[in-house]
A and B are shown apart, each in its own frame.
Chain A
Amino acid sequence: MLLAIVIWGVTGVVTAGFATKRWWFPAPINTHAAAFDSYFSANLIFSGIVFLAAQLALGWLIWRHRNRGQQAVHSDGNNRMELLWTSLTAILFLGAAIGSARMWSDVHLSTFSTTPMRIEASGKQFAWNFRYPGADGKFGKTDARLANDAAGNPAGILPDDPAGKDDIVNAALRIPAGRPVQLILRSNDVLHNFFVRELRVKQDLVPGLDIPLHILADKPGEYEIACSELCGLGHHQMRSVMIVLPQPDFDSWLGKQAAK
């Protein structure tokens, strides 16, 4: 009896915790993030109903059938019930898999209608660098052995590559609002992960691979970038910011950088 009450109590507290949303997502800053939030809400409601139904039923069965000297019903199963709940869960679970495939495809398997701006995002223990190709639109070749923060070449751009002369490297990621951006994620030491909560997207940086990630932010502001793949003792401080600027502000910032 006590157990039934404890299970119901815990169920109530857990449900209330999720319902109050005291600790929750930050506000979305693009259509993907908004779509993510509503898709997650649907999941939350669905699993919330199952959670409540299962826990309440468990508590009720404990309450109802606690031993008061009664004889147990003899039953060793029911094939129709098995068939019913097997097909029901199969449909629901497969529905979830298929339902979310679309959103995944939008992030990873589709292209923008306009040409995205390309920015190279590279991580190393325990800092971020963001490289813009400059006026020529081309990134200079790099060699990680040449990377040297003190010498002003954190990306390790080859000095004799003309394409690299006008490359701009910055510790923060500045992007124009409303414009598609293709990040090229690179690392030359260990795994890292690019995660901006407001974009509802994360992607590992893998040495040996250049991984493209399409992002688009509509709402100007400053958002934290948190490394989300264990990269060593300073993992917890591998922070940068993504600064979303209105297009004119972005253009003037880029102009100033190029003039440097």
Chain B
Amino acid sequence: MSHLVTMDDALKTKLGILADAAKYDASCASSGAPKRRAAKDGLGSTTGAGICHAYTPDGRCVSLLKILLTNYCLFDCAYCVNRRSSNVRRAAFTVEEVVTLTVEFYKRNTIEGLFLSSGIIRSPDHTMERMIRVAKTLRQKHGFRGYIHLKTIPEASPWLIEQAGLFADRLSINLELPSEASLERLAPEKDGAAIETAMGQMRERIAEAKEERRRFSPAGQSTQVIVGADATTDEALIRKSAALYDRHDLKRVYYSAFSPIPDGTAILPLKAPPLQREHRLYQADWLLRYYAFTPDDVAQAAEGGMLALDIDPKLAFALKHRERFPVDVNTADRELLLRVPGLGVRAVDRIVAARRHARLRLDDVARLTSGLKRARPFLVAADYTPGGLGDRLDLRTRLAEPPQQLSLFG
């Protein structure tokens, strides 16, 4: 029973070890679940959009209690702090302990739910069964309707992967490394084909359940790729993501800049990639999903396969295709407006709605976007044309962001 009324020091120590071990996973989203409210004697709800209950000094959102069931692991993946040859402190939660922490933290309104992952102990199936038991206990014994994200173990038996979807809002399988060769070198127990097979299997089950109005991982599936642990280019990463969105209907691909970990290993690069690289990858990913960019468009925005760090990929694309600009905010198609640097989806939609009733001047556009400085050289308004601005050779320098301090030591 989880009638613990307080946390003892042993549990607190375990929490420290198993939260530290889980924090390299970038995903913390609590979005995408259907709206639910608690039954009269139950606990928890979901809002659809997700809530960040706190932010840590790395700027990341704390939405879910993100922990490992255990950091003992039989695998030996070089990028992972929990690989079996690492010298970190080890700990293991019981199922009840995870349930208690989730319920008690949730009652204090500090979290939206649980993000549970685990090192592989005994076997992938054994591990997966224990993770499922946590989710099942929360749902059935505590009437918990908050968010549950389970990190699926692709090496587990297919029926277990499918059972996880009965209790989870989101399932994810980490791709970790974008190429088979890198996986072989850095994660010898992992198998790229098995990962994609499991993703395909999950996609089928999710689609079937939706059609049959059954509950199965309603917030879909996501994955994570580590950036900078191998030589993969940005272009190759974006092409891989586009293929994953397309083939397996993923909700999100997370990019996690490889970060120095305690007790690192000699086969990893010593230096972390700039966090700005991760940021540019997210922007490019966004262009794929919301701005109708193709992977080829993103490739054109890159130089030698790598995205520029000082300007965003949309601006990089526009600078290479100046012949397409300027576009007139009062007449251009939505698709063309979406290509203007500095104009987001919301700004474009507001422009399209407003211009049905009024001719827009530059002042009007300024009220609809905060990115006017970047947009100006590329657009025409009722009282404005960029003149020669859009053709200036130093345009890139003028629009580049001052070297931003995204990391204190990056």
Q: Do A and B bind?
A: no
